[in-house]
A and B are shown apart, each in its own frame.
Chain A
Amino acid sequence: MAMAKMPAVKLRAAKTPAVKRENSRGYRTFQIFNALILTGVVVVTLYPFATIVAQSFSSDTAINAGHVNVVPHGFNLTTYKKVMSDSAFWTNYRNTVLYTVVATAISMVLTTCYAYVLSKRHLKGRKFLIGVALFTMFFNGGLIPNYVLVADLGLRNSIWAIVLPNAVSVFNLLVMKAFFENMPDELEEAAAVDGLSTYGTLGRIVLPLSKAVLATMVLFYAVSFWNSWFSAFLYMDRSDLFPVTVYLRNLIAGATGGADQGTASDTALQIGANIQSVTIVLTVIPILTVYPFIQRYFVSGVMLGAVKG
């Protein structure tokens, strides 16, 4: 769902202090081109989404005839009513919300604690702990061993199969570690002098000052859990445990090239393009609406790793 990862790009070019340069011809040309190119990027990113939205309000015949671009043809809301009356859709939707909230919460706790510890240079075995995390970025056991592990731990058909194996993202961990390392040591020393324990320092001093990175991480985790389907697909054997992404994937991929298409005597009907669009729109909207609220932090947060490696 690339649509979900589409922040409204800020077009305003950065202001330079040199007033003269702003008036120079070269700079204005640059600005014009900049605006044009970025507008182009916006159009390219928004166009597919606008088409999907338009399709979701259109009739199936109009879509198949290729009449729908960004304006709905044969406007109707019946498809929305139809999809929203499917109880399986809402069951899976509820699962997605539940999985995302629980998984994000657990991931945040684990990642924050791990990153904070790693940011302390005096920690014994720090290099080893970093190494352990980094190792998993480059090597993993593979699909089937993972499956056997999760199955033998008895996690199949439970939320933990989705939450635990993906709880710590090493990339996020390193970004957070860099942020914590940048925090002035004096602050924590002062807190220690005033009698705060390690946990007290973390909870009362460090975290309140780290809202930016926390918001960024919440967003990263929430989006990735919202969009993920593979672990749920792999570890869940009952359809009432699927998240909505699995439902959506089956609707789109299953209708066009799925394993069932080969059945000669199975008279499969194509799923209407409008039904697919409606489901996409309904799935994307919640995570899309989260963006504006966090975007402020998001922009400054992403810079973190770049400033100091």
Chain B
Amino acid sequence: MNQLSRRGFISTTAGVAGLALAGCDSGSDSPKAASKVTSANRTGAMDKFGVGDQFKATTPLTFSIMLLSNSNYPYKADWLFWSELTKRTNVTLQPTVIPGSDYNQKRSVMVSAGNAPTLIPKTYHPDEEAYIAGGSILPVSDYLDLMPNFKDKVAKWNLQGDLDQLRESDGKFYLLPGLHEDVWKDYSLAIRTDILQQLNLQVPQTWDDLTTVLRAMKKAYPDKYPFSDRWSTPPQPGANNLLALVGEANGVWAGWSYQHANWDPTAGKFVYTGATDQYKQMIAYLNTLVSEKLLDPESFTQSDDQARQKFADGKSFVISANAQELVNHYRKDVAKISGATVVKIPVPTGPIGAAKFGSRLENGMMISSKAKDGKDFVALMQFIDWLWYSDDGLMFARWGVEGTTYNGKVDDGTFKLAPDVTWAGVNPGGKKNLQVDYGFFNGVFAYGGSTKLLNTQFPPEELAFQDVMNSRKALPLPPPAPLSPDDREQATLWQTSLKDFVNQQTLKFILGQRPLSQWDAYLSELKAHNSDQYISLVNKAYQDFKKNHG
């Protein structure tokens, strides 16, 4: 479930405004390459394809695609999605079906063997970097001129800074990511509200409030740890969500979003995350919780099931959560305790205030480099642009066909799933499942989009959470500092030992096995693990990129 780490969120030091550098446009997406596209590549393409246009190939076309078959809704050839897609676009997709359990492995073999289908979706940055040297994937940034909807969304939502995070040292990017209008937050803490009421406490707004609440709980139930956490899968230090949340509140990425390099906007350079004062603040905060016996020390080592069990048995009152876990598990788990109620609270705020940061990019799609020599290359890019980036395409992939699977409009708030269609607990009596029977809301096709579109999928309770989170200001991302392939290899070596060391010491400091007074000793040990060399490598990459592509 370590979703955040997979998304490869980019580290940044938050807090201070004035990140003018992050805004600087390094998007030198040259139209030169796109002009290499000749009339020989225009089979089936539309002459005029712009924002809001329905894409329809002028001749029937077939594109091959790698299709992740999700075990929750395994691939079916007779999904309405396929037939309706062909009807609307004149394009037939020919899937190579891959079980989701081992998708990455087969993708790797097929791409390396030169056998990959044209479209290779469900790729998380930086996975695409492994294939760049082999030349088997297309530098998509060269062909954005063929994608009006993509460009429109990037401009409208000001995503240039996010996109820069994908760039390689050659200034190009090789992955077409999903685009979100706003940073989407899902993970937070779940808390037993009946205990809050019983003790006359308010829902904590800040992390310091949380300490107060936990102290009051401890006073009332001295034999219990009020907070026992989960998501401690290695290799991170443990309680990975908690660390990520507290880290973010302090302006540093920790836990499962840990990044080695942190942008320091005042100094205008990267610094090593594990050596920052913000990281120390985070450790100090958690150390207080542990030493006052408010936070179960097992939080950092126990399995998810053990943590859930403690929460279910009323042995703890606070636990990490996301919307799914809350509804599918915690509510059901505590049902046996009479009067128990659980909510997911808005993420408590910390020293950096009501702000959030994170990338607005989703996993994305690689395109086989063979495609650009194909006769239908332009049509292919137009097709991708329509299905993954146009408003109509996003709506279609997510909710299907108006009048069949849904009714109403997203914009005026009248959107509603058709009464006989069930999805994720909506219309539980519905005979047909949107994903299983119709093939919509498939993770391969449906992601990203406007906040309004995203909100259509939430129940009222989650919407309230989203409203709070959306009102927080998104901080700018750090400038790009892509390493060259050689440097990347060296950096990976250093990262591995650095990460082990930081994880180990983080845990020791938090659990009180090492006093915080030894922080300076820790810093010099960190240097012995090459943190300085690593950071100068990153800073050099940052300077080089600024010079060449800035």
- Contacts A65-B312, A254-B100 hold; do A239 and B69 have CB atoms under 8 A apart? yes
Query: Do A250 and B69 touch (CB < 8 A)?
Result: yes
Q: Is the interface of A mostly helix, strand, loop or mixed?
A: helix
Closest chain B residue, CB of each to CB of A60: B332
Q: CA A257 – CA B72 in complex, angstroms?
A: 13
- Residues B443 and A263 in contact, CB atoms below 8 Å apart: yes
Q: Produce 1/0 per residue, B257-278, CB < 8 A to A.
A: 0000000000000000000000
Residues of B in contact, count (CB < 8 Å): 54
Q: CB-CB contacts of A265-280 with B at 8 A, as 1s and 0s?
A: 1111111000000000
Residues of B within 8 A of A258 (CB): 70-71, 100-101, 103
Q: Please, which residue of chain B has its CB at the minimum distance from the CB of A267? A: B424
Q: Mark B289-331, 1 if CB is under 8 A from A, else 0.
A: 0000000000000000100010010000000000010001100
> Contact between B441 and A266 (Cβ–Cβ < 8 Å)?
yes
**Which chain A residue shows the least CB distance to B117?**
A237
B residues in contact with A247, CB < 8 Å: 74, 99
Check A265–B70 contact: CB distance below 8 A: no
Residues of A within 8 A of B3 (CB): 261-262, 264
Least distance between A51 CB and chain B CB atoms (Å): 14
With contacts A262-B3, A266-B446 taken as known, whether A255 is within 8 angstroms of B97 at the C-beta atoms is no
In the complex, the answer to whether B363 meets A268 with C-beta atoms within 8 Å is no
B430 nearest CB across to chain A (Å):
14
* Docked pose: A91 CA to B312 CA in angstroms: 40
Contacts of B106 in A (CB 8 A): 233-234
Per the bound structure, the CA–CA distance linking A268 and B442 in Å amounts to: 10
Chain A residues with CB under 8 Å of B184's CB are 264-265
Measured between C-beta atoms, what is the minimum distance from A275 to chain B in Å? 10
The answer to whether B99 touches A233, judged by C-beta atoms less than 8 angstroms apart, is yes
A284 to B104, CA, bound (A): 27
Q: Mark B330-344 against chain A: 1 for CB-CB distance below 8 A, else 0.
A: 001100000000000
A149 to B101: give the CA distance in the assembly, Å.
24
B357 within 8 A of A: no
Give the chain B neighbours of A263 by CB distance below 8 A: 122, 362-363, 443, 447
Distance (Å) between the CB of A263 and the closest chain B CB?
Answer: 4
Distance in angstroms from B188 CB to nearest chain A CB is: 14
Cβ distance A203 to chain B, nearest Cβ, rounded Å: 42
Contact (A262, B100) CB under 8 Å given A251-B71, A270-B328, A271-B71:
no
A153 at the interface (CB under 8 A from B): no
List of A residues within 8 angstroms of B74 by Cβ:
88, 239, 247, 250
Instruction: Establish whether residues A265 and B454, one from each chain, have CB atoms under 8 Å apart when the complex forms.
Output: yes
Contact assessment for B99 and A250 in the assembled complex, using a CB-CB cutoff below 8 Å = yes
A253's nearest neighbour on chain B, judged by CB, is: B101
Once the chains bind, are A253 and B68 in contact (CB under 8 Å)? no
* B155 interface hit (Cβ, 8 Å): no
Across-interface contacts of A254 in B (CB, < 8 A): 70-71, 99-101
Is A61's CB within 8 Å of the partner chain B? yes
Least distance between B360 CB and chain A CB atoms (Å): 10
Q: Looking at the assembled complex, report how far the CB atom of B96 sits from the nearest CB atom of chain A, in whole angstroms.
A: 4
Give Cα distance in the complex from A111 to B363, angstroms.
Answer: 47
The minimal Cβ–Cβ distance linking A92 to chain B, given in whole angstroms, is 10
- Smallest CB separation, B73 vs chain A (Å): 9
Taking CB atoms, residues of chain A closer than 8 Å to B424 are 267, 269
**Cross-chain contact B328 with A259 (CB below 8 angstroms):** no
User: Within 8 Å CB of A182, what residues of B?
Assistant: none
In B54-70, the 8 Å CB interface with A consists of 68-70
Q: Contacts of A249 on B, CB cut-off 8 Å?
A: 99, 101-102
Q: How many angstroms from the CA of A3 to the CA of B102 in the assembled complex? A: 22
Neighbouring A residues of B454 by C-beta, 8 Å: 265
Mark contacts of B177-213 with chain A using CB atoms, 8 A cut-off: 1 yes-contact digit, 0 otherwise.
Answer: 0100000101000000000000000000000000000
Query: Shortest beta-carbon distance, A268 to chain B, in Å?
Result: 6
Q: Per a CB cutoff under 8 Å, which of A147, A233, A242, A261 touches B1? A: A261
* CB of B75 closer than 8 Å to a CB of A: yes
- Which residue from chain A places its CB closest to the CB of B185 in the assembled complex? A264
Q: For B75, give the chain A residue with the smallest CB separation.
A: A239
Residues of the B chain whose Cβ atoms lie less than 8 Å from the Cβ of A264: 3, 7, 184, 186, 362, 447
- The CA of A253 and the CA of B101, in the complex, are separated in Å by 5
- Which of B108-116, B472-480, B489-497, B514-522 forms part of the interface with chain A? B108-116
Chain A: which residue is nearest B178 at the CB level? A265
As a 0/1 sequence over residues 137 to 162 of chain A, the CB contacts with chain B under 8 angstroms (1 = contact) are: 00000011001100100000000000
Interchain nearest-CB distance for A96 vs B (Å): 15
Given contacts A259-B100, A264-B186, A268-B72, contact A143 B109 (CB under 8 A): yes
Q: Which residues of A contact B97 (CB under 8 A)?
A: 237-239
Chain B residue nearest in CB terms to A66: B309
Q: Which of A238, A239, A268, A269 contacts B443 (CB 8 A)?
A: A268
- Chain A CB within 8 A of B124 CB: yes
7 contacts between A and B (CB under 8 A): A247-B99, A250-B100, A254-B70, A258-B71, A263-B362, A263-B363, A264-B447
Other than the given A65-B312, A66-B305, A268-B443, 7 more pairs (CB < 8 A) read: A64-B329, A144-B113, A249-B101, A258-B100, A259-B122, A265-B448, A265-B454
4 tightest Cβ-Cβ pairs between the two chains A and B = A253-B101, A250-B99, A266-B443, A254-B101
Interface residues of A (CB under 8 A from B): 61, 64-66, 88, 143-144, 147-148, 151, 233-234, 237-239, 242, 246-247, 249-255, 257-271
